Structure 1
Amino acid sequence: MTSAALWGFTVVAVLAVITPGLDTMLALRHALLGGRKAGLTAVLGITTGCLVWGTASIVGLTALLTASEVAYNVVRVLGAAYLIWLGATALWKTLPRNRKPATEDVQLPAGRSAFRAGVMTNLLNPKVGVFYMSLLPQFLPTGPTASAWGALLVTIHLTAGLLWLPTLVWMAGRARALLQKQRVRRWLDRVTATVLVGLGVKLAAEA
C-alpha cells in the first residue's frame, strides 16, 4: 500500500467524520441535555458500533449487505424503527402531562443509556457497513497483507471520530450553561427528538 493511498483514505475518512450526520447529532444531543460525560459516553458507543462494522467488513461479513437486498432492508428497517422509538420516547416525555416538576428535572443518563444509544444507532445503520465495504477495497492492496492494512484503515477512521466528536462535545459543554433554563431545555429536547424521528423516517423511506 502506497503512502498516497494511505493519505487519500485519511482525507476521505476525516471528511466523512466531520460531515454533520446522525453521529454528530447524537453526540451533541447527549452533551447538551446530559452534560459532557453523557456526550463522551455516547461517543464511545458510536465508536464501538463503528468498530464492529469495521471488523465485520475486514472479515467479509458486511458483503452480505451489498449482495442481499433483503439483508440490507432488514437492518435498515430495524435502524429506522430504533431512531423513531428514541425520538418518540423523548417527545413523549416533553408533553405537559408527562413533565416532571422543575425540582425533579434530571439529566439524561450518562452511563448505559448514552452508550447503548451510540452503539445501537450505528449497528442498526446499514450505511456504516456499506461505507466500509465500498471504501476499503479501493485503498487495500492485494495479497496476504490486505487484512492488516484494512485494520489500519479502520483504526484511522475511528481515530478521526475520537478526535472530532469529543471536540464537539467539549464545545457543547461550553454552551450548555446557556441552555439550563427549563423552557429552553424542553424545546431543545423537542427539536433534537424531532430530528431523530425525521432521520428514522428518512432511513425507512430510502431504497
Structure 2
Amino acid sequence: MEFYTIALIHLLAVASPGPDFAIVLRHSIRFGRRAAVMTSIGIGLAILLHVCYSLLGIGLIIKTTPWIFQTMSYLAAAYLAWIGFAAIRSSAGSYTDQQNGQSLHLSDKKAFVRGFLTNGLNPKATLFFLSLFAVVISAQTPMNIKVFYGGYLAFATGLWFCLLSCLLSYSKIRQFIGRHGHWFDRAMGVLLIGLAVKLVVSDLI
C-alpha cells in the first residue's frame, strides 16, 4: 500500500504543468523527439538528486535554513527566466526547417543538462520529495526499500516525459507545430517566466 500511495501521488505531481513539462514541451516543439527525450532523461536522473537529499536529511537542512532555500529559489527562477526570454524571441522564420520535415538542432549534452538543471534546481521538487519521504514513507521502512522507491520515481518520471516527447513527435502534430511553432515557443516562454516569477514571489511571501 505504501508503494501504491507513492506511485499515485507521484503520478498526480508529474502530470501537473510545471517547469519540467514546459521545458520538455518546448524542446519537442523546437528541436524534435531526440532532444526532448534527452531532456526527459535529464529530468529523470535529477530526481535521484532530490531522493538523495531526502534520504540523507539534507532536504530538511535546506528547508530549515532560509538563505539556502532562497538561494535555490533565485537560481531556479533565473534559469527558468533565461530560457523563457530566449523562447519569447522566437521568430516565424526559425521554424522554416521544421515545416520541411526537419528539426532545429540541440546537442544531446545540452538537452540533457537543461533537463537536469530544470528539475535539479527546482526547490519545489526538493520539498515534494522531502515531504514524500517524511510523511508518506514510514520511518520503519528499510533503507533498501527506500532506495528502490527513489529508483522507481526517477525511472517513472523519465518514462513519463519520454512518452510525452514521442507523442509530440507524430507527423500530424509536427506539421501543425511547424506552422505555428513560434507561437507555441512564445507561449512556453511566457509560461517559464511566469513560473520563475511565482518562485520568487512565493519565496518572498
TM-score range relative to shorter protein: 0.7 to 0.9
Gaps of 5+ in 1: none
Matches within 5 A, 1:11-26: 11-26=8-23
Structure 1 Cα separation of the partners of residues 132 and 17 of structure 2? 19
For residues 167 and 91 of structure 2, what CA distance do their matches in structure 1 show? 29
Work out which of the residue numbers 33, 42, 53 in structure 2 matches 1:45: 42
Q: How many residues align?
A: 198
Contact 2:50 2:125 in 1 (8 A): yes
**More displaced stretch, 149-158 vs 122-131:** 149-158
Partner of 2:115: 118
Q: Please report how far the alpha carbon of residue 103 of structure 1 lies from its aligned counterpart in structure 2 after TM superposition.
A: 6.8
| Greater mean deviation of Cα atoms: 68-77 or 56-65 | 56-65
Counterpart mapping for 1:28-43 below 5 A: 28-43=25-40
TM-score normalised per structure 1: 0.85
Check whether the contact 2:48–2:154 (CA below 8 A) recurs between aligned residues. yes
- Paired residues of 2:36 and 2:111 also in contact (CA < 8 A): yes
Q: Do the aligned partners of residues 30 and 199 (structure 1) sit closer, same or farther apart at CA in structure 2, a change above 3 Å counting?
A: same
Task: Tell me how far apart the structure 1 counterparts of residues 167 and 200 of structure 2 sit (CA, whole Å).
Answer: 32
Query: In the alignment, residue 42 of structure 2 is paired with which amino acid?
Result: G
- The match for 1:194 is 190
Structure 2 portions without partners, runs of 5+: none
Q: How does 1:7-156 map to 2 (within 5 A)?
A: 7-92=4-89, 94=90, 102=96, 107-143=104-140, 146-156=142-152
* Identity rate, percent: 26
How many angstroms apart in 2 are the aligned matches of 1:116 and 1:95? 25
Instruction: Give the drift of 1:163.
Output: 2.8
Quick check: 147-156 or 30-39, which moved more? Answer: 147-156
Is residue 200 of structure 2 the alignment partner of residue 169 of structure 1? no
Aligned-pair RMSD on alpha carbons?
Answer: 2.3
Q: CA 1:95–1:140 in 2, change beyond 3 Å: closer, same or farther?
A: closer
* 2:68 counterpart SS class: helix
Shift of the 136–103 alpha-carbon distance from structure 1 to 2, 3 Å rule, reads: closer
Task: Evaluate the alpha carbon distance shift between residue 195 and residue 157 of structure 1 in structure 2; reply closer, same or farther with a 3 A threshold.
Answer: same
Contact 1:17 1:160 in 2 (8 A): no
Q: Distance in 2 between matches of 1:103 and 1:14?
A: 35
Change (3 A) 1:8 1:95: closer
Q: What TM-score do the two structures reach when normalised by structure 2?
A: 0.86
